[in-house]
Amino acid sequence: MSKGTITSVDVARRAEVSQSAVSRTFSPGASVSPKTRARVLKAAEELGYRPNVLARAVISGRSRLIAVLVAYLDNHFYPGVLEKLSRALQGRGYQVLLFLTDPGNQDEVVQKMLQYQVDGIIMATATLSSDLAGQCADTGTPVLLFNRYVPSLPVSSVTSDNLEGGRQLAHLLADAGHQRICFIAGQEDSSTSRDRGAGFFKGLAERGRTVAAHAAGGYTTEGAIRAARTLIDRKQRPDAIFVANDHMAFAVMDLIRRDYGLRIPQDISIVGYDNVPEAAWNSYNLTTVEQPGDAMVEATVAILLEQVENQQVARRAAILPCRLVIRGSARLP
């Protein structure tokens, strides 16, 4: 910075053209003669000039920055999503500005984020307060909820069909003849957990069955272990558990095998949700529902950038189909 910065004025001087000509050369679609352009490019090259995109953002009102809010990256569904999202956005000329939120600092982080003149906001946090999301929407900046749905808010959303996924898992477990089917929820105030649970209950009801017991794991390893102990320690031990995401399911499987000495699936069936890479690992070989990460990212980018680039586009809610992935952790019908 300080002294060394080369500006468009420096380039103009060396190329013996106006500063406007330099600016036009670096603005896609602006009208510059091939000759002028060549001189500018040559001078820029010699001086090592790089346009200051922040100045461009200030004047054009478009920063080409997309804020991505995430809460934590230990559920391995999110790193994969973040990677795909960044690549897709980069491919379209946008850059990800990353914001990590805690339950405790959400407000502070959102206020900070709104100062960056981002062109769009992607919230990939399971439980950001609706108030804050609404406040973001009020600024006029397009907002998209990723893997979450809040009908009352004027924002777009991309989710997978959690209801249907839960339902299919219920059918699978019921049809295999399990007698004491339990459910470990995630964060109870998250729409993913609610929908997966609701779909699961519905699917059981369709087979004339109900859940034997349930508990909440809060989408954390520790919470899942506590919840699993509660369920397994009941007088009637469960013979199947649907754990609301894979990340918790792994912890539950480890617990069951190590502390209870039970075999999976002979003594107890476990099913998860997400199909993160580890679900395919031989040691878990987890029956689960695949959230279509690639498709969700594609939809996210398409919807958000359409709103960013065409301004007045109405909010949209995309619900992508999920897919049952049958592996070895649950008995089959």
Binding site for its own copies (CB under 8 A): 1-2, 4-5, 50-55, 57-58, 61-63, 65, 68, 72-74, 76, 78-80, 82-83, 86-87, 90, 95-100, 109, 111-112, 114-117, 139-141, 250, 253-254, 257-258, 277-278, 281-284, 311
23 binds, among its own copies, DNA, none (CB under 5 to 8 A by kind): DNA
Q: Which is nearer to DNA, 30 or 326 (CB)?
A: 30
CB of 188 to its own copies, least distance (A): 24
How far, in Å, CA of 179 to CA of 237, rounded? 10
CB of 206 to its own copies, least distance (A): 34
111 binds, among its own copies, DNA, none (CB under 5 to 8 A by kind): its own copies
- Count other C-beta atoms under 10 Å from residue 325's C-beta: 16
Residue with tokens 């609301």: 244
Question: Residue 61 is which amino acid?
Answer: G
Give me 236's structure tokens: 């009637």
Q: Which is nearer to DNA, 7 or 129 (CB)?
A: 7
Q: Which is nearer to DNA, 59 or 314 (CB)?
A: 59
Chain length of the chain: 333
278 binds, among its own copies, DNA, none (CB under 5 to 8 A by kind): its own copies
Check if the beta carbon of residue 96 is closer than 8 Å to that of residue 66.
yes
Positions touching DNA (CB under 7 A) are: 5, 7-9, 17-21, 23-24, 26-27, 30-33, 35-37, 51-52, 55-56, 58-61
CB of 115 to its own copies, least distance (A): 5
79 binds, among its own copies, DNA, none (CB under 5 to 8 A by kind): its own copies
CB of 68 to its own copies, least distance (A): 8
Check if the beta carbon of residue 81 is closer than 8 Å to that of residue 297.
yes
Q: Which is nearer to its own copies, 319 or 325 (CB)?
A: 325
Q: What three-state secondary structure class fits 259?
A: helix
CB of 88 to DNA, least distance (A): 24
35 binds, among its own copies, DNA, none (CB under 5 to 8 A by kind): DNA
235 binds, among DNA, its own copies, none (CB under 5 to 8 A by kind): none
8 closest CA partner among 59, 52, 39, 62: 52
Question: Residue 83 is which amino acid?
Answer: E
Give whole-number Cα distances, 269 to 4, 214, 221, in Å. 65, 15, 19
Q: Which is nearer to DNA, 35 or 235 (CB)?
A: 35
What are the residues whose beta carbons fall under 8 Å from the beta carbon of 139, sequence distance 6 or more?
A: 114
How far, in Å, CA of 287 to CA of 327, rounded? 5
- Largest pairwise CA distance in the chain: 87
Give me 186's structure tokens: 């995630």
